[in-house]
């Protein structure tokens, strides 16, 4: 059947600022899917040129749009939390999704993308052993995604402790057998703010 | 048969400024289709650079053009209502149509797009439980659209109370069985101004 | 057979400045085809930036070029009629052709486009119940177009009183049965100036 789609499930023992563990769902089953976000150069707030965003990782059109949606959401949250922080105006940001040969698409990494952007902007690593999945709307609503069963199995396998799922997927989770649900701290969210308050510390 | 195209029919219990409930018509039937319009950064009226508009949500070419038409119409209305308001000259606007994986096209969200832009520009939420559909012409005429039956069923299902339809679709509505028409406050409009007067308060 | 290509034949009872009734010819027959031209913002003659032109309405490449040709012709006429009028240097113009989902192409809206631009530039509505069709050359020559029979039928149906046709289409018109030709005031023109003198008042 060929090699598995994602070969290195737990890529990070500890995630640095800008890196978030998401969950993917492929024909091969679920897997951890990291979003890596880094600065292409130090931020120069005195520069009058605008920042930029670059994406790599064999992303399809829907996922590329999801990056742009996530950026607007992250900007809005940073503007609310730190009104004087001009990071997103000036930063030259690169978002990569390993592994580069594996095509990835769909909107379900929305919350993961927002989180990676905020983690980079604030230069803070997020709470470890946390995974997440969910489409993001432009106002921060978290919309349901597919593959809950496969993603929960993957989260257990890679040792995630807390998993954020869209509230509208609650029934998909409830339908799983008990042994799959034990030991995981599942948090259902309907708006990104409910996730954000658990992102750091 | 797979999951329905639009899974979260009533995404918003209360819509904030910039968000409007439209009505879509797909092979799966009708559904609520929200337009989300937000600022990418605070408006800086002293900046001499022009604003911009970005769209996401898997929109086809006709719908992308519909956004541009809607923007010109909204600009004209704001110039008439608040001649000194330079919002559209300077604002960096992002329009998103959830859900990101679902392809959307056609001109029938025209009036919804105009409304979301005006709601954002005036920073006012619109009247709640109101839905709308209709193509917009550059001078504000409201042109007929397809799928009236499916859209009316969807409007009832999601709990819309007042629905704006193009005047030229009146016959399509009249042909519906009585039980579908009851309880809805239907308003037929031939020009956007007839809708605008009911948009706020 | 689906719904007709153009559903709202007589979109305007009265056309405002910038809006002209043209005539289109599709696989479904002839129809009125309005050109809508509006300002995206008030003209600022003191601004040192040039104006711009934007088009929407699912226009093909030939029709987009026709817009550019029409703009040059309109500029030349305005420069001759009102040498001090700098409207076209500074105006930000949006040209839209409803209905947005219907693909449109070809050069036969040339004279209609020139007329809509001049009507907007002079801020004057044109004579009502007038329709026109004809390709425009860069020096203002009016060239023959297809579908004269269908366009004449459409002009009658929507209540046009005077119709401008290219002089080189005279034989196509003469071949029509008498009952189609009655009641219409047909004007054959070989240069746009012959149309322009009847455009206003």
Note whether C138 and C166 are within 8 A (CB).
no
Categorize the per-residue pLDDT at C114 as very low, low, confident or very high, splitting at 50, 70 and 90: very high
State the smallest CA–CA distance between residue C92 and chain B in angstroms.
Answer: 11
DSSP state of A167: G
Active site residue B151: yes
| C58-70 tens-digit pLDDT | 999 999 999 999 9
Cα end-to-end span (Å), chain C: 42
pLDDT of residue A164: 98
Nearest by CB to C7, from B66, B138, B168: name it: B168
Categorize the per-residue pLDDT at B6 as very low, low, confident or very high, splitting at 50, 70 and 90: low
CB contacts of A138 in chain B (<8 Å) are: 36-38, 56, 94-96, 98
Q: Which of B117, B133, B138 is nearest to B167 (CA)?
A: B133
Lowest-confidence segment of A21-35, A148-162, B4-18, C161-175 by average pLDDT: B4-18
Categorize the per-residue pLDDT at C30 as very low, low, confident or very high, splitting at 50, 70 and 90: very high
Determine, for residues C19 and B139 on separate chains, whether the beta-carbon distance falls below 8 Å.
yes
| B44-101 tens-digit pLDDT | 888 888 899 999 999 999 999 999 999 999 999 999 999 999 999 999 999 999 999 9
B12 touches chain A (CB under 8 A): yes
A190 touches chain B (CB under 8 A): no
Q: What is the average pLDDT across C107-112?
A: 97
Q: Is B14 left (phi over 0), alpha (psi -120 to 50) or beta?
A: beta
ipTM for the whole predicted complex goes beyond 0.90: no
Q: How far does Cα A163 stand from its chain's mean position? A: 11
CB contacts of A72 in chain B (<8 Å) are: 38, 40, 54, 94, 96
Note whether B107 and C99 are within 8 A (CB).
yes
pLDDT of residue B1: 34
Give exposure, A69-92, as e/b (b: 16+ Cβ within 10 Å): bbbbbbbbbbbeeeeeeebbebbb
Catalytic residue among B31, B66, B108, B116: B108
pTM of the model: 0.91
- Residue B182 has a CB neighbour count (10 Å cut-off) of 8
B60 touches chain C (CB under 8 A): no
Q: How many CB pairs under 8 A join B and C?
A: 71
Note whether C52 and C74 are within 8 A (CB).
no
DSSP per-residue string spanning chain B: --S-S---S---SS--TTEEEEEEEETTEEEEEEEEEEESS---TT--S--EEEEESSB-HHHHHHHHHHHHHHHHHHHHH-TT--HHHH-EEEEE-S-TTS-B-SSTTHHHHHHHHHHHHHT-PPPTTEEE--EE-TTSBEE--S-HHHHHHHHHHTT-SEEEEEGGGHHHHHTS-HHHHTT-EEEEESBHHHHHTTT--
- Residue B82 has a CB neighbour count (10 Å cut-off) of 12
The whole-chain average pLDDT of chain B stands at: 93
State the smallest CA–CA distance between residue C78 and chain B in angstroms.
Answer: 23
Q: Is the pLDDT of residue A140 over 90?
A: yes
Categorize the per-residue pLDDT at A100 as very low, low, confident or very high, splitting at 50, 70 and 90: confident
Q: Is the pLDDT of residue B11 over 70?
A: yes
In whole angstroms, what is the distance from residue A79 CA to residue C106 CA? Answer: 49
B83 CB-near residues (< 8 Å, 6+ apart): none
CB contacts of B3 in chain A (<8 Å) are: 146
For residue C15, the chain B residue with the least C-alpha distance is: B139
pLDDT of residue C48: 85
């Amino acid at each position: 059947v060929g090699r598995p789609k994602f070969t290195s499930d737990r890529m990070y023992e500890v995630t640095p600022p800008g890196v978030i563990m998401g969950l993917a769902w492929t024909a091969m089953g679920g897997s951890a899917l990291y979003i890596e976000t880094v600065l292409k150069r130090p931020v120069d707030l005195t520069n009058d040129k605008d920042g930029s965003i670059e994406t790599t990782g064999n992303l399809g059109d829907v996922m590329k749009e999801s990056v742009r949606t996530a950026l607007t959401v992250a900007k809005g949250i940073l503007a609310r939390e730190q009104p004087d922080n001009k990071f997103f105006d000036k930063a030259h940001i690169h978002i990569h999704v390993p592994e580069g040969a594996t095509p990835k698409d769909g909107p379900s990494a929305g919350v993961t993308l927002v989180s990676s952007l905020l983690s980079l902007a604030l230069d803070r690593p997020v709470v470890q052993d946390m995974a997440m999945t969910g489409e993001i709307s432009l106002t921060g609503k978290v919309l349901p995604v597919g593959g809950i069963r496969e993603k929960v199995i993957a989260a257990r396998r890679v040792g995630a402790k807390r998993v954020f799922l869209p509230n509208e997927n609650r029934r998909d989770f409830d339908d799983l057998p008990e042994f799959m649900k034990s030991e995981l701290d599942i948090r259902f969210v309907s708006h990104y703010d409910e996730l954000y308050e658990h992102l750091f510390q």
